[in-house]
Amino acid sequence: MSEPDAMKLSPKVLLIDPVRMLPSLLIPLVGVLFVGGFSPSSFGWAAFGVLGAIVYAVVRWATFSYRIVGDRLEIRRSLVSRSVRTIPLERVRGVDVTTPPMHRLLGLAVLKIDTGASGGGEQEGELDGVSVAEAERLKGVLLRRARAAKAAAGLDDAAAHDGTGTGPGVQEGGPPLAGEPHEAVPLDRAFAEPVEHEIVKVPRKWLLYGPLSGAYLLTPFAVAGGAIGLIFQWGDQLGVGRAAVWNVGRWLWEHPILIVVAVLALVVAMPFVAAVMYAVFNWDFTLKEREGYLVAERGLVTRRSVSLEARRTRGYEIVDALPERRAGVVRMWAIVTGLGDSETRGQLLPDVPRAVAVEVAAQAVGPFTAPLRAHPPVARDRRLFRAIAPWLAVAAGAAVLAVATATPAWWILAAVALVLAGLGVPLGNDRYRSLGHGYDGVRLLSVRSGSLRRSQAVVERRAVVGWRLRQTWFQRRAGVFTLVAGVGAGKGGYEAVDVSGQQAVAFPAEVTPEWMAPFLAQR
């Protein structure tokens, strides 16, 4: 049987590559024009540089090809030296399709293949510039053949050989408990049907929850800071002059009320800018199940589709900021083995009502209904101290400077610090109430911490590969520990912060008694 012909990227990508090169060419081209005194010859050299970039893009396109041969994907490059990257289909863990703005105008897409081999945020293979139809066709072919290759190789039953999965009869994190089911993920059976099923589509009215997350609230301050930095760096070239900038800064410092007005204006703009940014990134967020994969699609300007292999899902992480808790909404990420860039690719839901997130989590992993156990009272004292003491120190320092320099701005800073110290009392108490850990006695354990950003991770028992106790000097003084459940998925470890010595021993012994019994017997 003859091998399939090699495929090339769409020639339309040649309209995009030179434009993407312009930022890196801008400084050299401007330098050539300045050195040449904007003479005809300098413009000629600049045009020659642009032409060279176009020729380079054409040659790179002509020497790039890809094809699927049997159980592998081959990506070939031969610009200077020949390079062949081979990706076994049984290692494919996800295929992402994104359509940046310029690609969308030309009907193109970027297809990224994740095998988890990089251990980070980079994908193993990337096809930048295929048509949207070709990207969807390749995505379906790669995922279907990947499942077939895994089944043929018996990887569904022996995925633990590479430390990235489990199958029937194989348990991560120790031997199975009595009566514990041996399936990899409860959703496997539901995902076995080769049909697409929509789990949830986020209504556009829920985009109004976006500013509550705080993810984009500081955008106005970032823009203002960038503008100030640009003026300081390029003030002379822009005709402003750094001396004038310093004079304006000194004048504002002498009139602190104007600074307060400017800050208040930025604060007022925060929710509106955050709402726009959040809507751009999470527009029409849809979560589907398709042929054994969880597929999350989102984005207005850049549309992105991320596929996560369902059988590698080991848990989920629910995150909510303080305003989100008041509104009863949360965000959710999947904890998946071998997933690169899990912070971005692993997102299952943006801000949605907690009941919706709980329902989706119950389908993906299973419901966690066990109560979380409280941490010792000394943990509360530690949180109150850290929430109050720093601001009291700032207030005291600002008051001393205000008396020494007779500058009203220092008194304003001292007053603000005192207010923040007062707010530290409810904040510290809330951080303590958020602490907790628990185990349902069968298959799921959970840890929770945080207040301004509270995070609760729910992980399957079989995903635990080890335990680690950590204790700082201050924790030793307080007699508490940080217990880390090592997990071969997600962040690699999830912490139960400031547990007592008894809890630090009892919780691992309850979850993985087979591991702890020899050590407890020696006590």
- Per residue in 240-257, pLDDT (tens digit) is 555 666 666 677 677 778
pLDDT > 90 fraction of the chain, expressed in percent and rounded: 41
The pLDDT value recorded for residue 185 is: 36
pLDDT band at 338 (very low <50, low <70, confident <90, very high): confident
Higher pLDDT, 115 or 448: 448
**Residues 161-194: tens digit of each pLDDT:** 444 444 333 333 433 333 344 333 343 433 344 4
Helix (H, G, I), strand (E, B) or coil at 374: coil
The pLDDT value recorded for residue 35 is: 60
* Rounded average pLDDT over 470-487: 94
C-alpha–C-alpha distance, residues 323 and 321, integer Å: 6
Question: Half-sphere exposure (CA, 13 Å, Cβ side) for 285?
Answer: 20
C-alpha–C-alpha distance, residues 87 and 98, integer Å: 20
Of the given ranges (194-198, 460-464, 507-511), which has the lowest mean pLDDT? 194-198
pLDDT band at 459 (very low <50, low <70, confident <90, very high): very high
The pLDDT value recorded for residue 38 is: 67
Give the DSSP per-residue string, 175-209. SPPTT----S-THHHHHTSSSEEEEEE--GGGGGG
Of the given ranges (19-33, 200-214, 499-513), which has the lowest mean pLDDT? 19-33
C-alpha–C-alpha distance, residues 286 and 364, integer Å: 15
Residue 411 has pLDDT above 80, yes or no: yes
pLDDT band at 157 (very low <50, low <70, confident <90, very high): very low
Q: In this structure, are residues 275 and 208 in contact, taking their beta carbons and an 8 Å threshold?
A: yes
* Rounded average pLDDT over 77-81: 75
Nearest to residue 438, comparing CAs of 496, 363, 383, 479?
A: 496
* Mean pLDDT, the chain, whole residue set: 81
pLDDT band at 156 (very low <50, low <70, confident <90, very high): very low
- 374 backbone dihedrals φ, ψ, rounded to 5°: -70, 150
Q: In this structure, are residues 430 and 322 in contact, taking their beta carbons and an 8 Å threshold?
A: yes
Count how many residues are written for the chain: 523
Of the given ranges (67-81, 299-313, 343-357, 495-509), which has the lowest mean pLDDT? 67-81
The pLDDT value recorded for residue 154 is: 58
- 161 backbone dihedrals φ, ψ, rounded to 5°: -65, -30
Of the given ranges (28-37, 62-71, 432-441, 495-504), which has the lowest mean pLDDT? 28-37
Residue 217 has pLDDT above 80, yes or no: no
The pLDDT value recorded for residue 332 is: 95
The pLDDT value recorded for residue 158 is: 41
Higher pLDDT, 44 or 234: 44
The pLDDT value recorded for residue 182 is: 37
* Rounded average pLDDT over 319-332: 93
Residue 435 has pLDDT above 90, yes or no: yes
Residue 204 has pLDDT above 50, yes or no: yes
Higher pLDDT, 253 or 348: 348
Contacts of residue 408, Cβ cutoff 8 Å, sequence gap at least 6: 256, 402
C-alpha–C-alpha distance, residues 402 and 411, integer Å: 6
Nearest to residue 104, comparing CAs of 268, 300, 280, 323?
A: 300
Nearest to residue 488, comparing CAs of 188, 116, 146, 92?
A: 116
Q: In this structure, are residues 475 and 350 in contact, taking their beta carbons and an 8 Å threshold?
A: no
Angstrom distances, CA of residue 312 to CA of 59, 166, 485: 40, 8, 18
Burial of 516 from C-beta contacts in 10 A (0-12 / 13-18 / 19+): middle
* Rounded average pLDDT over 8-37: 73
pLDDT > 70 fraction of the chain, expressed in percent and rounded: 76
pLDDT band at 417 (very low <50, low <70, confident <90, very high): very high
**Could you identify the residue written with the tokens 């380079």?**
56
Of the given ranges (80-84, 99-103, 439-443), which has the lowest mean pLDDT? 80-84
* Rounded average pLDDT over 109-116: 85
- 240 backbone dihedrals φ, ψ, rounded to 5°: -90, -50
Residue 137 has pLDDT above 80, yes or no: yes
Higher pLDDT, 180 or 113: 113
**Residues 28-63: tens digit of each pLDDT:** 666 666 666 666 776 676 677 778 778 888 888 889
